[in-house]
Structure 1
Amino acid sequence: MKKESLNDYCSRVNKAIDFIRLNLDTNISLDELAERVNLSKFHFLRVFHAVTGVSPGEYHKQLRMQRTQFQLISHSEISVTQIAYQLGFSSVSALCKSFKKTKKTSPLEWRAHYLRKHSNSGHFEKNKDEYFRSIFNLKYNNMEKQHQFKCQVKELRDQKVIYIRNFSIHVHDSEGFKQMFERLFEWAGSRGLLNFPATKALTVYRSMPDENGMLQADVCLTVPEGVLGEGEIGTTIIPGGTYAVIYKEGTLDECFSAWDYLYNSWLPASGFSADSRGVFLNHLNDSGTHPEGLHIFEMCVSVQKI
């Protein structure tokens, strides 16, 4: 396949994925997706499968299942009925049927199995905290983290961004993220789109890390309306609304510790729950120019009132 054709297909698939993510709680037809990327539905189906390895419908189901699992383990007080409603399933039975087809068990049985597997003492929150620590190599106890992090609830605006996407990158692959940002900066710089501090550099986490620390992520730069991407450079909107925001200056480990603190300490006591709009880091400096090599960032997690 020619490079030009591959870049064009990747661009169209990324546009479709962005639309799916922004409409995770709705049912989207193949016709609607194909129309949005200006391909026949049969051609679009082949291209999407070639780029992602699955069909658009299967990709949508995978995202819903990821969010369902996250809700089950992160908010043990939320019922399956509530999750089904939040994620746009037609009914509780539809969620259970889809979940059982994927996981070979029911949502409640899966949650119970998770509790047994990750807790010898039955204290779910403690072991959930240890699960995230094992991925992020965290070193801080809850009392220490309360002193380290200040979390505020803010209303953020929609942000138009250009991005480079990685479907499978390790959460600690700093070199991989650096290379993605370098390609994005080169593309934006050659078009006069870099205007710091107005331009924001963001890392958007598109999935929770699995037990091996692998996730999907985009590196992004905010751009004015009307900017179009090309090839691997996509454009999308990071939706605004209510976000829990942590500001921090620290090491890379402390960046990941902020994630751990927000999900496992702050959220359960906040009266909010994470929703499907996602998580992103707003990078406020270049750690290479910091006298101590520290990162300055805002971690933003989309939330809704419980």
Structure 2
Amino acid sequence: MITNELVTQSIDYIVQHLDEGISIEDVADYCHLSKYYFSRVFKAETGESMYAFIKRLRMEQSAFRLKVEKDKSITGIGYDYGYSPSNYSSVFKKHNNISPVQFRNGKYAECVTNPFYQDKLVKFQSFEEYGKQIHIQQMNDFVVIYERHIGNYIELKKKWRDFIEKYKEHLKEDTLLIERSYADPSVASIDQCLYDICITVDKNCSFDNVTTIQGGKFAVYRFDGQVQDIFPAFQGLFNVWLANSCYEMDKRYGLDIYRTINWKSMQVVMDLCIPIKAHERK
């Protein structure tokens, strides 16, 4: 868990400005610290240098866009993250062991391997089947207590149990359990996934680790099944529905909102929420 508030704030800044050519100096200035001092603090807290972290997130985010923004050129996506065509291809291949062209062509298959259960092949539904189960909704902001983690999603059950125990006095009948995901495990290392676990609270809550998750327009898919099948559902939504729909994701990140959880069987009902732009893609 990331406990340093300045590091948490710096990660918020980084994920919101990945496509704006940010530097280590920019992040340190944002936190009002010298880049040398803050670089040490950042690595001590995350286990990764700030330079490596920014580079990795750029590669992960650009890879995600390659598979869902079919009408955007590979060159254009590379430019968005400050790379020339040849440099982007070289850096991408070094990071992913595959070229951007090969990656994009391979991500529109009918199935993918589940990185958490490598013996399971994930087969997608059709665009029409996903579309029948998706509703476009306008959501209000969520005020939440949160913890930020870098790790494997497999660890979520224990993280949630500990988190709920820590804040059990703040649980009410209408409390929502929310995950905010910054990483797609089909393109990120499964041991380096960045995510928040949150519970909704009153806006007057005075804890230091309280933040507001921005609401807005979301494509919402109701999932009812085993936790191990959440990954296949999300991948189908991204690879099939979003990639072929008239919608685009915006700079907000995806949310999982739990409706019911059976901790013993790990059967859940949850809303998988994809943030989309207010206007449709042309």
Return the TM-score normalized by structure 2. Answer: 0.78
Structure-2 residue corresponding to 1:207:
183
The letter for the 2-side match of 1:208 is: D
For 1:146, the equivalent position in structure 2 comes to 129
Q: Superposed, which structure 2 residues align to 1:25-64 within 5 Å?
A: 25-28=19-22, 30=24, 33-34=27-28, 36-37=30-31, 39-64=33-58
Matched with 1:188 is 167
52 and 7 in structure 1: CA distance in 2 versus 1, 3 angstrom threshold = closer
1:131 aligned partner: 112
- 2:15 aligned residue: 21
Q: Are residues 1:97 and 2:78 paired?
A: no
Out of 232, 246, 256, the residue aligned to residue 271 of structure 1 is 246
Aligned to 1:261: 236
**1:168 corresponds to which residue?**
151
Q: What's 2:222 paired with?
A: 247
Give the structure 2 partner of residue 217 of structure 1: 195
Q: Which residue of 1 aligns with 2:260?
A: 285
Identify if the C-alpha distance between structure 1 residues 15 and 251 changes in structure 2 by more than 3 Å, giving closer, same or farther. Answer: same
For structure 1, the residue ranges without an aligned partner over 5 or more in a row are 1-5, 119-123
Q: 1:28 to 1:252 in 2, by over 3 A?
A: same
Aligned match of 1:114: 103
Cα deviations by residue, 1:14-66 (Å, 9 ceiling, x for unpaired): 12112222333334455554455454443212101222244434422322221
Change (3 A) 1:47 1:187: same
Would you say the 8 A contact 1:66–1:207 is kept in 2? yes
Structure 1 or 2, whichever has the larger Rg, is: 1
Q: Distance in 2 between matches of 1:241 and 1:84?
A: 28
- Within 2, Cα distance between the matches of 1:139 and 1:131? 5
Aligned length, in residue pairs: 274
2:69 to 67, 71, 75: 75
From 268, 275, 282, the equivalent of 1:302 is: 275
One-letter code aligned to 1:164: E
- After superposition, give the CA deviation of every residue in 1:244-275 in whole Å (9 maximum; x if it has no partner): 11013222244333213311222133211334
Q: Judging changes above 3 Å, is the alpha-carbon distance between structure 1 residues 125 and 11 closer, same or farther for their aligned structure 2 residues?
A: same
C-alpha displacement at 1:149, in angstroms?
6.2
Residue 236 of structure 1: CA displacement? Answer: 3.6
Instruction: Please give the root-mean-square deviation of Cα atoms over the aligned residues, in Å.
Output: 3.6
Q: Check whether the contact 2:2–2:8 (CA below 8 A) recurs between aligned residues.
A: no
Displacement of 1:154: 1.8
Q: Which runs of 5+ in 2 are unaligned?
A: none
Residue identity (%): 24
Does the aligned pair in 2 maintain the 1:246–1:299 contact within 8 Å? yes
Cα distance between partner residues in 2 of 1:208 and 1:21: 14
Q: In structure 2, how many angstroms separate the alpha carbons of the residues matched to 1:32 and 1:216? A: 21
